[in-house]
Chain A
């Protein structure tokens, strides 16, 4: 666990061993677990993780847990409300001097995209409007992963899922949760990815030093759901950033800043072609229309960023 006085400047400042225990039932190559390791190293054991239904629910199966600190499983829709009750109760106990400051905990919500983008959005919105002092970690594997990767509100356009098997894949578009969260003006919002642990660590450390709602979306490459070899997780994560598909950015004090701008963006198809969920864009023949559309959407995003930067 890192002291708040430490500052993470380079990759060498990251701990070489992880605090979160091993032997969890997560799939090999789980991009969410990859991110969670770094997050937990920084947040440490003086935390209570409040979980919603999703893959990570299986981290704590009676009587085992990889967490050194505390955990509460709630339900799919109301993890932020669970965080509200715990935070308020701890504040009451502190105020009444029934516990010392030493006994206080950082309250951390941990949910997948299914909860964050859909069912749990109302509870999340409520927590931000009440300026709840907590950290929200959404591991976004772009589908209802724990039930076998059906499409969710986080699924990208054209991705094949268990409920979008057609030649064009998912007809919808990934919901812009970052902007939805930012519209609430919480203390902090950031996108992260496990494949860039330094950017991730810096953001978690920054979030840790703040108060109020601190909201994190971790794009989480998912070998099982995205259909690729587990060893490609880091590579795919890096390509998500390098192609501009997953912009790394943060919001604080009313401003959105991109923490990493891929100046020489690789073509999106480098990212897409490694994943079975996009195989239908390449075989039996290239779907040039869809590929161009996906590329154009990424280009349009970055053009706006560049204009805003000037």
Chain B
């Protein structure tokens, strides 16, 4: 099949097109805007028939996405970072409506300080919202995962909205060769949206999202949502299997790279995992039995896969491109809870934080992390969580501070 150069944003737009979405409530935000511009262009030229409405905020955008899905049409939307947080109230709300739709999130670090470059604190802030989450590492994956996300969202065992996450800049603006599935084949795979009983029709009045009184009914509906999300793990496997049969690309819930015989593992999410892959290749050349795990599915967390893939390893380095203030890496905590109490769990589960606000993680740093966990096995001492930062970076910041200092003094002198 022919491959086309597409940005991650372009791939997301293509997936929405192939899924024949009916409705796109939108709001611009860097680095996501190209997705809605592309879709708007196709609507203007008549290449697709969907309706795009620019709302006045992401909060309204997610409300409209949820209410349109609750009326029975197929919905796509996209946001990033501050936008996702601005919509946070509605993320929790529309998942409770059990309104299935797909939201692309282009990851970008959160304010303050305000920045444009990527990390995962935005998407992880939505971790407990009831949206399922798929994390991508290539533009091809963005397209494929978005198609799979519709199947996941609309599955009768789930019926929850899904976020497909792609990293700002590294995927959103990077062109990669992408196989665009044939429109009919994609249509067949995704199928048409059956709203079932979640819809508004004059002949069948429906009260949706009504209040409850007391913890009994509240807990019931919350548990229902949780159990539906849990169903997502097995359903994802089925969908990935079918996708692979139809299109020849397999996107496992957890990607395992050169992990079969590995004593040591890196665990990472998103596009920065390609840096880890490169480091694994180099370390393998040096004789290391090392590999990489990359969870694609974060919600539901593919617990069984992770337990199996992490079992009997000597040591694991979890590299979080996020930071929970006062605790550390979020994925590290999740894996610790997945492994706790298991006899076959690795004895060393070390935590590293890197890649915040698009900060690079160099190959040398991967080497250092590998050394660090090997040493931990030898000494029996898991290292304290480490925040990746180099002398050079610190020197650069010191220079900026020196300039700020000089300028301040200068302005002070004017005042005098």
> Which residues from chain A sit less than 8 Å from chain B, CB to CB?
45-46, 48, 50, 57-58, 60-63, 65, 67-75, 77-78, 80-86, 88-93, 96, 98-99, 102-105, 122-123, 125-126, 129-130
Contact = CB atoms under 8 A, between A and B. Distances in A.
A67 B203 CA distance: 14
Contacts of B53: 84, 88, 130
B209 interface: yes
Contacts of A88: 23, 25, 51, 53, 64, 68
Contacts of A82: 63-64, 66-67
Summarize A's interface: helix, strand, loop or mixed.
Answer: mixed
Summarize B's interface: helix, strand, loop or mixed.
Answer: mixed
A61 to B, nearest CB: 5
Given A93-B71, A126-B56, A130-B53, A61 B210 contact: yes
Nearest to A132: B53
A70 B207 contact: yes
B200 to A, nearest CB: 5
29 contacts: A48-B200, A58-B211, A62-B217, A65-B210, A70-B206, A70-B208, A71-B207, A71-B208, A72-B209, A74-B209, A75-B59, A75-B89, A78-B59, A84-B55, A84-B67, A85-B23, A85-B25, A85-B63, A88-B51, A89-B22, A89-B72, A89-B73, A90-B200, A104-B202, A122-B57, A123-B56, A123-B60, A123-B63, A126-B55
A105 B202 contact: yes
A91 B73 CA distance: 10
Contact of A85 (B65, B89, B93, B207): B65
From A61, A65, A72, A78, residue with most partner B Cβ within 10 Å: A78
Nearest to B211: A61
Nearest to B99: A85
B67 A89 contact: yes
> Which 5 A/B pairs are nearest by Cβ-Cβ distance?
A85-B67, A81-B60, A126-B56, A89-B71, A85-B64
Contact of B25 (A58, A75, A84): A84
Interface of B: 22-23, 25, 51, 53, 55-57, 59-61, 63-73, 75, 89-90, 93, 97, 200-203, 205-213, 217
Contacts of B68: 85-86, 88-89, 92
A60 B67 contact: no
A84 B73 CA distance: 13
Given A86-B200, A123-B57, A68 B205 contact: yes
Nearest to B22: A92
B60 A90 contact: no
Contacts, number: 153
Given A69-B205, A84-B55, A123-B57, A90 B89 contact: no
A96 to B, nearest CB: 8
Contacts of A60: 207, 210-211
A105 B200 contact: yes
B61 A90 contact: no
A80 B67 CA distance: 11
A85 B26 CA distance: 12
Contacts of A78: 59-60, 63, 90
A73 B210 contact: yes
Given A74-B67, A78-B90, A88-B68, A103 B202 contact: yes
Contacts of A90: 71, 200
B85 to A, nearest CB: 14
A129 B54 CA distance: 11
From A62, A105, A125, A126, residue with most partner B Cβ within 10 Å: A62
Contacts of B207: 60, 65, 67, 70-72
B62 to A, nearest CB: 8
Nearest to A122: B56
B199 to A, nearest CB: 9
Nearest to B61: A81
A125 B56 contact: yes
Contacts of B206: 70-71
Contacts of B201: 99, 103, 105
Contacts of A70: 200, 205-208
B349 to A, nearest CB: 39
A127 to B, nearest CB: 9
Contacts of A72: 67, 70, 97, 200, 207-209
Nearest to A58: B211
A104 B57 CA distance: 27
B211 A50 contact: no
Nearest to B203: A103
Contacts of B70: 72, 85-86
Contact of B67 (A57, A61, A63, A86): A86
Nearest to A48: B200
B203 A102 contact: yes
Contact of B73 (A67, A73, A93): A93
Given A92-B23, A126-B55, A84 B64 contact: yes
Nearest to B87: A78
A304 B203 CA distance: 49
Nearest to B73: A89
B55 A74 contact: no
B200 A81 contact: no
Contacts of B90: 75, 78
B60 A86 contact: no
Given A62-B211, A84-B55, A50 B60 contact: no
A62 B66 CA distance: 20
Contacts of B75: 85
A90 B23 CA distance: 11
A46 B206 CA distance: 11
Given A89-B68, A102-B203, A103-B201, A75 B63 contact: yes
B67 to A, nearest CB: 3
Contacts of A67: 205, 207
A93 B68 CA distance: 10
